[in-house]
Amino acid sequence: MSAPFILVNLKTYKEGMGNRAHQIATAAQLVSRETGALIGIAPGYIDLHPLCHHFAVPVYAQHVDGCAPGANTGHVTVDAIKLAGAAGSLINHSERRLTLADIESSVRALQSQKLSSVICSNNEMTSAGAAALEPDYVAIEPPELIGSGISVSKANPDIIRRSVSIVQKVNPKVKVLTGAGIQSGECVKIAVDLGTDGVLLASSVVKAVDPVTILRELVSKL
Amino acid sequence: MSAPFILVNLKTYKEGMGNRAHQIATAAQLVSRETGALIGIAPGYIDLHPLCHHFAVPVYAQHVDGCAPGANTGHVTVDAIKLAGAAGSLINHSERRLTLADIESSVRALQSQKLSSVICSNNEMTSAGAAALEPDYVAIEPPELIGSGISVSKANPDIIRRSVSIVQKVNPKVKVLTGAGIQSGECVKIAVDLGTDGVLLASSVVKAVDPVTILRELVSKL
Amino acid sequence: MSAPFILVNLKTYKEGMGNRAHQIATAAQLVSRETGALIGIAPGYIDLHPLCHHFAVPVYAQHVDGCAPGANTGHVTVDAIKLAGAAGSLINHSERRLTLADIESSVRALQSQKLSSVICSNNEMTSAGAAALEPDYVAIEPPELIGSGISVSKANPDIIRRSVSIVQKVNPKVKVLTGAGIQSGECVKIAVDLGTDGVLLASSVVKAVDPVTILRELVSKL
Amino acid sequence: MSAPFILVNLKTYKEGMGNRAHQIATAAQLVSRETGALIGIAPGYIDLHPLCHHFAVPVYAQHVDGCAPGANTGHVTVDAIKLAGAAGSLINHSERRLTLADIESSVRALQSQKLSSVICSNNEMTSAGAAALEPDYVAIEPPELIGSGISVSKANPDIIRRSVSIVQKVNPKVKVLTGAGIQSGECVKIAVDLGTDGVLLASSVVKAVDPVTILRELVSKL
């Protein structure tokens, strides 16, 4: 099995933009090198290109539109993020929900450019629906726990277990991430022990005074 | 195997409202009795209650919201269509796309009231995604053929074949309808021969001068 | 000046459907007759037609689509609510926000059928934007107070005053309703004294054990 | 009166990304210097920062979210485009429609950072609604003419005239741009003669073999 994937979503936090995004990327690169952990970051679009070019960590878009290049204003195509150097994209985050048709077209567009796709889901059944679209990852995040400070690993291990099981059944090639409230090495370890391939997290890293310390803590029990 | 299901979506056509909706329901009931075919109709909300109470045919809503009763303005809950006497609802029609989370909550809400769910999809992969949500039916409608007068049965039998196959693989209990351009008994026969459980259609019936004639034609080759 | 308008939004509350919607309509009709107040109700679509035909109170849809009759699934056209007997429709309620283009097309479609339009807005600037579209009413509802039990009349009289003033400036023919937390005759009186033409309210009437009592209370200070 | 504003929307055209975006910006800067015309560009987010820093032309985002920095995934805040060096943003383009509340919050967020706001509208009444929100510009683009190759200046001068007039009435400080099918110096001249302050255009520049030639042509009759 490959190393668990720790994907840090910088959202539009003030503490995740510009210089501060560079600082988090620096921390991700450092802790990856120290520990062998696979740590990626998902910055805003403006920071995407510079981070891709200055750091040897996987950089993801937070959202991508599946539409082809053309007459689409305010959209972000897979071509655009590929050109920027992105490794992949989140799709259907709870703060940016898409239609089923748009989720699918985003996955196809990413695959056609050999980029990685992470579909966010909200419960075990939508995890199954997402897995049937053949993304690289499904990231299950119970919406009520996002940003709550309560870890899904501890509050609802059953939803993780059932999501892993149903995703396995629908498509065993699809990996599972878990998110919502992840904030310690113990949360990450529980998530991995429950059968997931990593975690999606945001505020606990982005708002940390020292991103190196929290990233070391997150991978400490692996 | 049960009789194929012919589901007539009245959309918001002028020719599908009020008295005219009653006329189409009358035709559906007549042809069902003559032939043993299972013919349902999906009228607008205003006609839902009267049609449910005056006709012995399955009446579907065109859309339903998965939210619980409460502070939702302009929404239509499963409770409301259940009280009206509906047999079920279309979900995620190409003219009313929903997020993955909303599609799933609508299916769950319908199931909790023992109503039937028909998720519309646009290609074979979204059909797989829809099937993983465990609805009663997935209705595959290539958007470019909807209302085109070109039958999906003839123009793209492969998409039907592949959708039936992938839905079977994801969840063999889910039935498949096909839609888009269906207008003759031959279209319906091809769709059924390709392994689907019926058809979803609209304009060819709603805009027909005589709904009885077209409905008899549609079921004539079964 | 005409009598203030009390518009009761039944939302999708369990206590506002079916028989219970009839009970609230009965109360609205009774209190209107007793007091000369103008009391309207906005039920769900399923109850729209029966309430329009059984009661002599203005019945509003909670939402309407501005599209013409045709190939629109799950939409509710102005034609449909006109046929049902509606007096008008809410547009852009905070629980059913629309694009600027769709708000405008809904107002135009209602006007073309001589039905009344009530655009909901969330602050004084969007009230100005709404007024420029020339609806019959703009209903200003600060979202943070909706369903809060805290009356906008008392918590934020300034937003009402400024909204009345800016709407007057943009288009003096447009009337202003205020909503959010309205629950007593005093709230209604303050709103009217601040220059509005009535109130939009929901839970305080819909969830009342006795709708007659609360409606009498609401109009008691006028 | 200030020089008319020529704003070139690069959309997600292949011919408007990366090196090619730089080429168009180079052309815009050159023709601005030659002629004194005010020529701006609206590239994709990935190109926003580099273009802002390498060129002395106003660079606009194609869309911006009015939300404050924080837990918003896949959104682009005004803070982010300000940090990138943008001069302002398009809002509510026909390919990225927003709710009235979101349009208004975007204008306010841009104003709070002293950035310019261009609200797109689709007819004269929505132009009035947009003007009431007090943006810097309203850009009226009849949707049926966008990308049509038929110039709004010639096909429908009345909609421009009426939009200018109604915007003047609602708020005389708001400037008007016209868009849709603009492709020649004559189109631009007509638009300006009808009282507008410039044009919003896309494909005629973005897809031109030589952006310098077409930009010179566009400003040639001013």
- Examine the pLDDT at D105 and tell me if it is beyond 70: yes
| Contact residues, chain C, for B204 at CB < 8 Å | none
Distance from C-alpha of C20 to C-alpha of D139, rounded to nearest angstrom: 48
Distance from C-alpha of C156 to C-alpha of C191, rounded to nearest angstrom: 11
3-state SS, residue A71: coil
| Residue A124 banded pLDDT, cuts 50, 70, 90 | very high
Tens-place pLDDT, residues C115-143? 999 999 999 999 999 999 999 999 998 88
Q: CB distance B97–A100 less than 8 Å?
A: yes
C66 contacts: CB under 8 Å, gap ≥ 6: C78, C102, C103, C104, C105, C106, C107, C108, C109
The continuous run of DSSP H or E covering D127 comes out as: helix D124-131
What one-character-per-residue DSSP string does A162-213 give? HHHHHHHHH-TT-EEEEESS--SHHHHHHHHHTT-SEEEE-HHHHT-S-HHH
Buried b vs exposed e over A153-180: b needs ≥16 C-beta within 10 Å?
Answer: beebbebbebbbbbbeebbeebbbbbbb
CA closest to B130 among chain A residues: A129
| Residue B139 banded pLDDT, cuts 50, 70, 90 | very high
Q: Whose CA is closest to A64, among A37, A82, A39?
A: A82
Distance from CA of B50 to the nearest CA of C (A): 10
Distance from C-alpha of A166 to C-alpha of A164, rounded to nearest angstrom: 6
Tens-place pLDDT, residues D179-193? 878 889 998 999 999
Tens-place pLDDT, residues B12-47? 999 999 999 999 999 999 999 999 999 999 999 999
Tens-place pLDDT, residues B109-127? 999 999 999 999 999 999 9
Distance from C-alpha of D55 to C-alpha of D29, rounded to nearest angstrom: 7
Q: What is the pLDDT of residue A138?
A: 97
Backbone dihedral angles phi then psi of residue A119, each to the nearest 5 degrees: -90, 125
Mean pLDDT in residue range B116-142: 96
Q: What is the pLDDT of residue C133?
A: 98
Distance from CA of A82 to the nearest CA of D (A): 10
Please answer whether residues A180 and A145 qualify as being in contact, where contact means their C-beta atoms are separated by less than 8 angstroms.
yes
The one catalytic residue in B104, B124, B141, B217 is B141
Q: What is the pLDDT of residue A155?
A: 81
Please answer whether residues A187 and A151 qualify as being in contact, where contact means their C-beta atoms are separated by less than 8 angstroms.
yes
| Contact residues, chain A, for D141 at CB < 8 Å | none
Optimal mutation site among C10, C22, C45, interface B, most CBs of chain B within 10 A: C45
pTM beyond 0.90: yes
| Contact residues, chain C, for D133 at CB < 8 Å | 125-126, 128-129
Query: Is B22 in the active site?
Result: no
3-state SS, residue C88: strand
CA closest to D98 among chain A residues: A74
B151 contacts: CB under 8 Å, gap ≥ 6: B145, B180, B181, B182, B183, B184, B187, B190
- Examine the pLDDT at A168 and tell me if it is beyond 90: yes
Q: CB distance A103–B103 less than 8 Å?
A: no
- Which of A98, A103, A132 shows the shortest C-beta gap to B170? A132
CA closest to A129 among chain B residues: B129
Distance from C-alpha of A135 to C-alpha of B125, rounded to nearest angstrom: 11
- Examine the pLDDT at A104 and tell me if it is beyond 70: yes
Q: What is the pLDDT of residue D148?
A: 76
Distance from C-alpha of A8 to C-alpha of A39, rounded to nearest angstrom: 8
Distance from C-alpha of A152 to C-alpha of A155, rounded to nearest angstrom: 5
Please answer whether residues B133 and B160 qualify as being in contact, where contact means their C-beta atoms are separated by less than 8 angstroms.
no
Distance from CA of D170 to the nearest CA of C (A): 6
Q: What is the pLDDT of residue B127?
A: 97
**Contact residues, chain B to chain A, C-beta under 8 Å:** 92, 94, 97-104, 107-108, 121-123, 125-126, 128-134, 170
CA closest to C102 among chain D residues: D99
Q: CB distance A99–B92 less than 8 Å?
A: yes
* Tokens describing residue A74: 């305010």
pLDDT, greater one: A147 or B92: B92
- Which of B92, B104, B126 shows the shortest C-beta gap to A126? B104
Tens-place pLDDT, residues C182-195? 889 998 999 999 99
Length of chain D: 222
C94 contacts: CB under 8 Å, gap ≥ 6: B73, C120, C122, C141, C143, C146, D101
Q: Whose CA is closest to B99, among B128, B66, B123, B125?
A: B66
- Examine the pLDDT at B1 and tell me if it is beyond 70: no
Q: What is the pLDDT of residue D39?
A: 97
Q: What is the pLDDT of residue B48?
A: 97
Distance from C-alpha of C129 to C-alpha of C167, rounded to nearest angstrom: 9
3-state SS, residue B52: helix
